[in-house]
Amino acid sequence: MTEKEKCAAGLLYDANYDKELINERIACKDLCLEYNQLKNSDSENRNALIKKIIGKAKDHICIEPSFWCDYGYNIETGENFYANHNLTILDCAKVKFGDNVFIGPNCSFYTAGHPLDAKQRNEGLEYARPITVGDSVWLGGNVVVLPGVSIGNNAVIGAGSVVTKDVPENSVAVGNPCKVIKNID
């Protein structure tokens, strides 16, 4: 089993020393750098390049620079997706966004995690868990979403939150760790 296959299966895998994964990250980051250097007025090339980076993107997608991801092919965006400046997606596993998702500036989505065991961690091993964000979700600025989290439809995540557990649909959640503070009627 390759390291990429181990990752996809949710097993510990070697992301730091595996040539295939390293080369894929380098290629993706080169595309991200190119995207980040395009003028905002160059919407045709920006749209074409972001769709080259993102694995599956609907027609109406806007990601303000700067944008960084690991592989790109594990990211899926729905229709009417908007992300403000400084979006980071560590997409070692799938990261799926529904329709009408709005992301504030300086937000991060981390599918990668590392073992608690120092020996395994020092060997460069990690694991990846998918992240799912439903339809009509709004994430305020400086939100961090950790591996394996699902955020339900119509949820609002307050600025500065660290989302460590699933957030149900139709709720407002805030804090570190992020907790539901009210339901949306």
| Helices and strands: H and E segment counts in the chain | 4, 20
Nearest CA to 145 among 161, 156, 129?
A: 161
**Alpha-carbon dihedral angle through residues 26, 30, 33, 37, given to the nearest 10 degrees:** 170
Q: Strand pairing of 178-183 and 171-175?
A: antiparallel
Annotated catalytic residue, options 25, 51, 60, 114 = 114
d(CA 111, CA 149): 9
d(CA 69, CA 46): 16
d(CA 50, CA 36): 10
Tell me if residue 60 is catalytic.
no
Q: How distant, in Å, are the alpha carbons of 70, 101, 110 from that of 163? A: 20, 16, 10
Catalytic residue positions? 114
